[in-house]
């Protein structure tokens, strides 16, 4: 349970379940909970089970190995793995009853070959690029991909269960690209339906669209970060009925009194202005605490939020707590839900110049992960 330093990432499974339920209630249609990247740093399998306990209808991951890890843990819910490059183990996916997505005819050919090799019918989603210029099929290639998929469906090798795309600007709900992407998506759906792919679910909405853009909900929504209680719009998650599921804590490893003018940590980018107490926190950039947090990010220590003093090192950083009482072993909180006086991941993101997604997915290293709550526990 501990790594010897007391640094831990505490994950509230009940919050994940309640967030999922709140999102599901908002959209009143099927919801795919995205649990890629180790459940956004919350733990793949526990996060998946908690989301399912909260009413998620299916799970989404980036790569096949993540889907197989869910199956190996006994998770039987529908799972989609969508980022399949050449040589992805589609046969293993089909054997484990994992749905796959393709964005090119060569990818479809790999799926058909895997279906024949395994004797399975592949449950297939077709991904169209409606303007993100990322992993969907270009619109120019879409009719060819759709026609090939319709043939594969007629041959019994695949059944097309999804038609989907991804938004570039869902976190800016009035951005003109949204209407443009919706238009392209609807044209792409019409092309697929005309080719006979009439039973597929349409899905477009990530977390931001799930909370802000009802016109993008279609037949299923696909939230990730909101499931973990973070506001995809960068505001207060409580405004959407969400609660952050992750708390990151550590324990002070050493304290010392120093005089005014003491340079702190590498490069002395911070210097004390009076005699003061420094507290050493044993967590650093090797654990996913961004080096850019030095001199900017807040930490709750000795009853107040205090900015990290000087550079974040590989294994540790320093706080200047003034004359506040603090001792080795005392708890410090990097981020959490925010209702116990601690900073939030959003505050950290704003301080460091990143997004909360990056913070929660990268925190790890020597932090121990501990689960609280019972949703989905086996």
| Active-site residue (options: 218, 266, 357, 371) | 266
C-alpha to C-alpha distances, 288 to 55, 294, 334, nearest whole angstrom: 31, 13, 12
Nearer Cβ to ligand PLP (82/270): 82
Nearer Cβ to ligand PLP (82/285): 82
**Which residue matches tokens 């900017």?**
296
- Please report how close the Cβ of residue 143 comes to ligand PLP at its closest, in angstroms: 22
Q: Which of residues 158-177 bind ligand PLP (CB under 6 A)?
A: 166
Ranges of H-type helices in 242-291: none
- Please report how close the Cβ of residue 321 comes to ligand PLP at its closest, in angstroms: 35
Nearer Cβ to ligand PLP (185/317): 185
Q: Indicate the SS3 state at residue 50.
A: helix
| Active-site residue (options: 36, 40, 285, 371) | 36
**Which residue matches tokens 């479809």?**
108
The torsion of the CA quartet 142, 144, 145, 148, rounded to 10 degrees, works out to 160
- Please report how close the Cβ of residue 151 comes to ligand PLP at its closest, in angstroms: 26
C-alpha to C-alpha distances, 340 to 231, 337, 355, nearest whole angstrom: 18, 8, 22
Whole-angstrom Cα Rg for the chain: 23
Residue count, binding to ligand PLP (CB under 6 A): 11
Let me know if 371 is a catalytic residue: no
Contacting residue, 39, 43, 232, 338, with ligand PLP by CB under 6 A: 232
- Please report how close the Cβ of residue 210 comes to ligand PLP at its closest, in angstroms: 7
Nearer Cβ to ligand PLP (23/302): 23
Compose the 1-40 pattern: x for residues touching ligand PLP by CB under 6 A, - for all others. Answer: ---------------------------------x-x----
Nearer Cβ to ligand PLP (68/226): 226
Let me know if 256 is a catalytic residue: no
Strands 331-335 and 246-251, by their bridges, are: antiparallel
Nearer Cβ to ligand PLP (61/352): 61
Q: Strand runs (DSSP E) across the chain, as ranges?
A: 8-12, 32-34, 58-61, 79-81, 99-102, 122-127, 158-164, 201-205, 220-221, 246-251, 254-258, 263-264, 270-271, 276-281, 298-301, 304-309, 317-322, 331-335, 368-372
From 62, 97, 109, 99, select the one nearest 82 (Cα to Cα). 62
Q: Which of residues 269-288 bind ligand PLP (CB under 6 A)?
A: none
- Please report how close the Cβ of residue 36 comes to ligand PLP at its closest, in angstroms: 6
- Please report how close the Cβ of residue 331 comes to ligand PLP at its closest, in angstroms: 29
Residue 356 engages ligand PLP in binding (rule: CB under 6 A): no
Nearer Cβ to ligand PLP (235/329): 235
Compose the 35-74 pattern: x for residues touching ligand PLP by CB under 6 A, - for all others. Answer: -x--------------------------------------
DSSP 24: H
- Please report how close the Cβ of residue 308 comes to ligand PLP at its closest, in angstroms: 27
Q: How far is CA 105 from the centre of its chain?
A: 29
Question: Beta partners for 12?
Answer: 372
Residues making up the chain, counted from first to last: 378
Q: Which of residues 198-227 bind ligand PLP (CB under 6 A)?
A: 206-207, 222-226
The DSSP-derived string for 84-134 is: --TT--HHHHHHTT-EEEESSHHHHHHHHHHHHHHT--EEEEEEB-SSS-S
Chain residues in the site for ligand PLP (CB under 6 A) = 34, 36, 166, 206-207, 222-226, 232
Residue numbers annotated as active site = 36, 266
């Amino acid at each position: 349970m501990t790594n010897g330093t007391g640094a831990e990432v505490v994950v509230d499974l009940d919050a994940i379940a309640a967030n999922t339920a709140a999102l599901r209630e908002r959209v009143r249609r099927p919801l795919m909970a995205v649990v890629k990247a180790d459940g956004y740093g919350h733990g793949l399998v526990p996060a998946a089970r908690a989301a399912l306990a909260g009413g998620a209808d299916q799970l989404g991951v980036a790569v096949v190995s993540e889907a197989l890890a869910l199956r190996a843990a006994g998770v039987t819910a529908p799972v989609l793995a969508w980022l399949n490059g050449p040589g992805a183990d589609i046969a293993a996916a089909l054997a484990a009853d994992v749905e796959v997505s393709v964005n090119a005819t060569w990818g479809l050919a790999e799926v058909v070959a895997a279906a024949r090799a395994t004797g399975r019918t592949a449950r297939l989603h077709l991904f169209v690029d409606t303007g993100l210029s990322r992993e969907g099929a270009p619109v120019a290639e879409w009719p060819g991909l759709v026609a090939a998929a319709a043939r594969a469906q007629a041959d019994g090798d695949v059944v097309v269960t999804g038609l989907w795309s991804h938004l570039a600007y869902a976190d800016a709900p009035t951005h003109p690209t949204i209407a443009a992407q919706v238009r392209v998506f609807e044209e792409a759906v019409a092309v697929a339906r005309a080719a006979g792919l009439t039973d597929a679910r349409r899905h477009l909405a990530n977390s931001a669209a799930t909370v802000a853009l009802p016109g993008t909900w279609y037949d299923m929504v696909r939230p990730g970060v909101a499931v973990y209680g973070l506001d995809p719009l960068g505001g207060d998650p409580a405004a959407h009925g969400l609660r952050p599921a992750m708390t990151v804590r550590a324990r002070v490893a050493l304290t010392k009194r120093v005089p005014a003018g003491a340079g702190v940590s590498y490069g002395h980018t911070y210097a004390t202005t009076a005699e003061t107490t420094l507290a050493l926190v044993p967590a650093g950039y090797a654990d996913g605490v961004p080096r850019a947090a030095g001199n900017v990010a807040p930490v709750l220590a000795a009853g107040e939020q205090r900015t990290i003093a000087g550079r974040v090192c590989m294994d540790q950083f320093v706080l200047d707590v003034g004359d506040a009482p603090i001792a080795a072993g005392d708890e410090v909180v990097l981020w959490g839900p925010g209702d116990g006086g601690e900073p939030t991941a959003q505050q950290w993101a704003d301080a460091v110049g990143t997004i909360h997604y990056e913070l929660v997915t990268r925190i790890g290293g020597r932090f121990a992960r501990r689960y609280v709550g019972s949703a989905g526990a086996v």
